[in-house]
Amino acid sequence: MSKTTPTQDLVSGIWKQNPVFVMLLGLCPTLAVTNSVANAIAMSAATFFVLLGSSVLVSTFKKWIPKEVRIASYIMIIATFVTFADLVLAAVVPDIHKALGAFIALIVVNCMILGRQEAFAAKNTVGRAALDAIGSGIGFSIALLMMGSVREVLGNGTFLGFHVFGPSFAPWVIMILPPGGFFTLGVYLLIFAWWKGRKQTTVHPRRWLHEVTAEAGD
Amino acid sequence: MSEQKLPMAGLDGAPPTPPVAKSTSAARLVGTLAVAGAVAGAAIVMVFSWANPLIQANQAARLTGAITEVLGGAARYETVFLDGGAFTKEPQADTATLDRVYVGYDAAGAPHGVAIVTEASGFSDVVRVIFGYDPTSGDLLGMKVLENKETPGLGDKIEKDSMFVGEFADVGTPLVGVKKDRATGAHEEIVMITGATISSRTVVDMINRRMEALREPVSALWASTAVASGGEAPDAARAGATGGGL
């Protein structure tokens, strides 16, 4: 049913269809818990687990789920995995669980996860759904790490707790406060938009030339 | 089959059946959600029964660590509940609703101090601290912030600034918060954090308020505890610490 190759399923979510920087999904955790690299990693891991688990289950049971109750069923599957992640984090890494607070429970309403179920897992085979989930999960993790690195390095002068600047560095405290999240995301979106625009302007004439020659050949 | 039947139905004069979108029966919809819910519930129960003992152990370890820290090296502690104006180990009422403090004992079994939890609104959200109190001298033994959402880099120094946290060791009560350049070196003085006046004052005030409310029952508790453990009040070891501040 899918018109893409398995490699495309895996790769598109990582960069070209990056959930955060291109699709602008899952912005709530992206802004809220990226004030340190450790939090970003924990959030990425939890989201990755929930996304992969839900995609595989939704894809497996797609034939048995009537379309009238599909969203409710997806949410139930997602919520179950989120509860697993919540309990496991609280049991294994209580400090990180405390730092992430309510945002673990809020993975349930992460549009990226429900979006992947509705747009992909519900229409494709289990293998393809898993590949798509892995790709999107990696893309989301990269985005969170990019946010977390910039904010922790500038806002606290550390990376994963290690000092990267000399003792004379005065941390830009605003970067680990909520406004810093918006600034960082804004700058990244600007870079992505600029990069996309540049690619279009350079690619366009060549494609046009190619089409002209193709027509002439006909 | 049906393709042939439809025009025939038209020939018979009977109205042709309009194409109806296939709808799922309500029983099937409810059934799907019920089964999914039951399976999800069962799975969550399984994970919960594995995780819950670990979570409880984590919480207990965090509390024990905090109590040991603010009491300056207590070997073990005992929870006592405030029931009807006096502290007791076995209260009549439900323990979940009762106020409580933790009595720390040193390795020899002598009472070492009392750890008390208190909370109040800080600059951004509730600040929760635990502090150690020595009823014999009336001094604080130490303070640790359990929870705070104060401004990073400014207000959260109440937890991260070792200078400020250190102020709460061997200080007389009630506490007096002073600004850095107004410090006179008095025994009750806490030098507040520059740029985090509200956060610092919150900590100082909440400890004072809590001590005011609990001083009487804690003293009574202390007298009975000292008797119970053979009258070995720990003040002999702490004779150097100046009293006063009461």
Q: What percent of chain B has pLDDT over 90?
A: 15
- The partner residue sitting opposite A66, judged by closest CB among B24, B48, B152, is B24
- DSSP tag of B192: P
The CA distance from B29 to the nearest CA of chain A, in Å, is 6
* pLDDT over threshold 60, residue A132: yes
Q: Cβ–Cβ of B40/A80 closer than 8 Å?
A: yes
Q: Cβ–Cβ of A91/B55 closer than 8 Å?
A: yes
pLDDT, one tens digit per residue, over A141-152 is: 999 999 999 999
CA dist A48 → A27, A55, A82, A85, A137 (Å): 15, 11, 11, 10, 5
Q: Across the strands, what pairs with B147? A: B128
- The partner residue sitting opposite B51, judged by closest CB among A35, A88, A173, is A88
Name which residue leads in pLDDT, A23 or B9: A23
Q: Cβ–Cβ of A76/B36 closer than 8 Å?
A: yes
The CA distance from B193 to the nearest CA of chain A, in Å, is 17
- The partner residue sitting opposite A91, judged by closest CB among B37, B51, B151, is B51
Q: What residues in A contact B48, CB-CB < 8 Å?
A: 87
Task: Give the H/E segment covering residue B120.
Answer: strand B111-121
Task: Give the H/E segment covering residue A54.
Answer: helix A37-60
Q: Cβ–Cβ of B32/A79 closer than 8 Å?
A: no
**What is the predicted pLDDT for the residue at B25?**
86
pLDDT, one tens digit per residue, over B167-182 is: 888 888 788 888 888 7
CA dist A100 → A28, A32, A46, B154 (Å): 12, 9, 11, 21
Closest by CA to A18, choosing from A146, A150, A135, A107, is: A135
CB A25 within 8 A of CB A112: yes
Rounded mean pLDDT, B64-90: 82
- The partner residue sitting opposite A66, judged by closest CB among B28, B44, B54, is B28
Q: What percent of chain A has pLDDT over 70?
A: 90
CB B208 within 8 A of CB B140: no
- The partner residue sitting opposite A76, judged by closest CB among B37, B55, B151, is B37
Q: Cβ–Cβ of A92/B32 closer than 8 Å?
A: no
0.95 surpassed by pTM: no
Rounded mean pLDDT, A20-36: 87
* pLDDT over threshold 50, residue B240: no
Residues of chain A whose beta carbon is less than 8 angstroms from a beta carbon of chain B are 35, 64-69, 72-73, 76-77, 79-80, 83-84, 87-88, 90-92, 94, 155-156, 171, 173, 176-177
CA dist B243 → A38, A89, B14, B171, B232 (Å): 45, 46, 106, 9, 18
**What is the predicted pLDDT for the residue at B99?**
83
Torsion over CA: B36, B39, B41, B44 (sign): negative
CB B143 within 8 A of CB B203: yes
CB B154 within 8 A of CB B146: no
CB B66 within 8 A of CB B131: no
Q: Cβ–Cβ of B24/A88 closer than 8 Å?
A: no
pLDDT, one tens digit per residue, over A72-81 is: 999 999 999 9
**What is the predicted pLDDT for the residue at B175?**
85
CB B123 within 8 A of CB B150: yes
Task: Give the H/E segment covering residue A7.
Answer: helix A6-12
For B156, nearest residue in chain A (alpha carbons): A173
What does DSSP say about strands A158-159 and A162-163: parallel, antiparallel, or unpaired? antiparallel
Q: Got the DSSP string for B4-54?
A: HHHHHHHHHTPPPPPP------HHHHHHHHHHHHHHHHHHHHHHHHHHHHH
Phi, psi (deg, nearest 5) at residue B135: -65, -25
The complex's ipTM works out to 0.74
Q: What residues in A contact B43, CB-CB < 8 Å?
A: 80, 84
- On the CB side of A201, how many CA atoms lie within 13 Å of its CA? 5
